[in-house]
């Protein structure tokens, strides 16, 4: 299905109208909590509504169910075909539980890390934007979380970031691309397996037809075709604008599962005490090559307008 057909199909659906699930927005511009009973046992109609809610709200939260790896992969398949998780960035050589699961943790056993990213802050980023085909959905479920403050995951709506971009900045990025360097992960750790590529600064979502700002991550990126100083100045301005957007920060509980859309949302994680334990398992779905389509006149996405603030 092409972007034009996908947009027509998306536009026929009523935003925020569901019959099989309860959807409660978590902030004015991004995120929603889903209630649908046992979300590992959904019929096809309910799965379709969950997928629609994901396209409507960019990030979904399911609560109060600790998922094993088979259940996590099952949930992931609601949102697309799974793709292998990336090889771990942990220098000590921690391994994936299976091809489709990676471990995000600061825990060490016998002096070896069991997962990646540790306890430091992870900068604002889009997952694996350095790849020629970045993943569409990231699915993260919690097994252990730090008590008190720390470890929260924040999200920003990149549809809105584009829609609110000042005219001067908007004119500077027309037709531009960003080189996404994959040499380091979101915590700044050097990767053992690295690939880099360029993508459009603005991409058209292949299912909603709406355009979103697509920045990847600030570190080690550059705008193709510009001198270094001009590229840095423009990227700094784009990121400053993005950072000024409303963000939702999710405070994790054990048994939470988040699914976010890497095509139109960025995220980061707050740091937490190194003595606290945090254990998450993650999977992802196959994406599409980021493109800016000239086939459609993109309309603002509903959540970029702040229509669904919780009471």
Q: Could you tell me which of 4, 76, 13, 14 has the C-alpha nearest to residue 39?
A: 76
Rounded-to-integer distance, Cα 48 and Cα 20, Å: 10
| pLDDT higher than threshold 80 for residue 156 | yes
30 in Cβ contact with 57 (< 8 Å): yes
Q: 310: how many CB neighbours lie within 10 A of its CB?
A: 11
Q: Please provide the average confidence, as pLDDT, over all residues in the chain.
A: 87
* pLDDT at res. 98: 85
- Residue 310: pLDDT band with limits 50, 70, 90: very low
Q: Tokens for 127, please give them.
A: 């997952």
DSSP state of 110: T
Distances from the Cα of 257 to the Cαs of 76, 111, 120, 252, in angstroms? 11, 28, 21, 9
Question: Which H or E run contains 52?
Answer: helix 44-57
Structure tokens at 85: 């998780």
DSSP state of 226: S
Query: ∠ at Cα 127 (47, 209), nearest 5°?
Result: 55
The domains of the chain are located at: 3-296
Residues ≥6 apart with Cβ < 8 Å to 107: 113, 114, 115, 144, 277, 278, 279
Q: How confident is the model at residue 150 (pLDDT cuts 50, 70, 90)?
A: confident
Beta carbons of 211 and 202 less than 8 angstroms apart: yes
Say what the alpha-carbon torsion angle 282, 283, 288, 290 is, to the nearest 10 degrees: 10
Superfamily the domain 3-296 falls into: Clavaminate synthase-like (3.60.130.10)
Is pLDDT above 70 for 311? no
* CA angle in degrees (0–180, nearest 5) for 266-118-78: 45
**Whether residue 297 has pLDDT greater than 90:** no
* Tally of CB atoms within 10 A around 245: 17
What's the mean pLDDT in 56-75? 97
Residue 86 pLDDT: 74
Question: What is the number of alpha carbons within 13 Å of residue 269 lying toward its C-beta?
Answer: 24
Q: What is the pLDDT of residues 161-206, one digit of tens each?
A: 999 999 999 999 999 999 998 766 555 566 665 789 999 999 999 9
Lookup: tokens for 19: 């019959």
pLDDT tens-digit readout, 197-256:
999 999 999 999 999 999 999 888 999 999 999 999 999 999 999 999 999 999 999 999
pTM of structure: 0.90
């Amino acid at each position: 299905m092409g972007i034009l057909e996908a947009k027509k199909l998306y536009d026929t659906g009523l935003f925020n109208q569901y019959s099989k699930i309860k959807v409660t927005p978590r902030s004015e511009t991004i995120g929603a909590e889903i209630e649908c009973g046992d979300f590992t046992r959904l019929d096809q109609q309910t799965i379709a509504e969950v997928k629609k809610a994901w396209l409507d709200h960019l990030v979904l939260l399911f609560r109060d169910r600790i998922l094993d790896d088979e259940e996590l992969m099952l949930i992931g398949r609601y949102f697309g075909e799974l793709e292998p998780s990336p090889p771990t960035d942990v220098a000590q050589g921690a391994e994936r539980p299976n091809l489709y699961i990676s471990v995000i943790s600061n825990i060490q056993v016998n002096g070896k890390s069991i997962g990646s990213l540790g306890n430091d802050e992870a900068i604002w980023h889009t997952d694996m934007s350095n790849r020629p085909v970045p993943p569409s959905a990231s699915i993260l479920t919690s097994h252990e979380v730090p008590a008190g403050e720390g470890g929260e995951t924040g999200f920003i709506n990149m549809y809105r970031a584009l829609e609110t971009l000042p005219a001067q900045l908007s004119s500077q990025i027309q037709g531009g691309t960003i080189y996404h360097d994959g040499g380091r992960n979101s915590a700044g750790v050097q990767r053992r397996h690295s690939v880099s590529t360029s993508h459009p600064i603005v991409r058209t979502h292949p299912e909603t037809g709406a355009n979103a700002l697509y920045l990847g991550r600030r570190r080690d990126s550059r705008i193709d075709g510009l001198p270094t100083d001009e590229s840095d100045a423009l990227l700094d301005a784009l990121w400053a604008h993005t950072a000024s957007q409303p963000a939702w920060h999710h405070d994790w509980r054990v048994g939470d599962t988040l699914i976010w859309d890497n095509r139109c949302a960025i995220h980061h994680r707050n740091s937490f005490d190194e003595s606290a334990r945090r254990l998450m398992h993650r999977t992802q779905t196959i994406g599409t090559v980021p493109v800016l389509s000239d086939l459609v006149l993109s309309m603002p996405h509903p959540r970029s307008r702040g229509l669904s603030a919780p009471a």
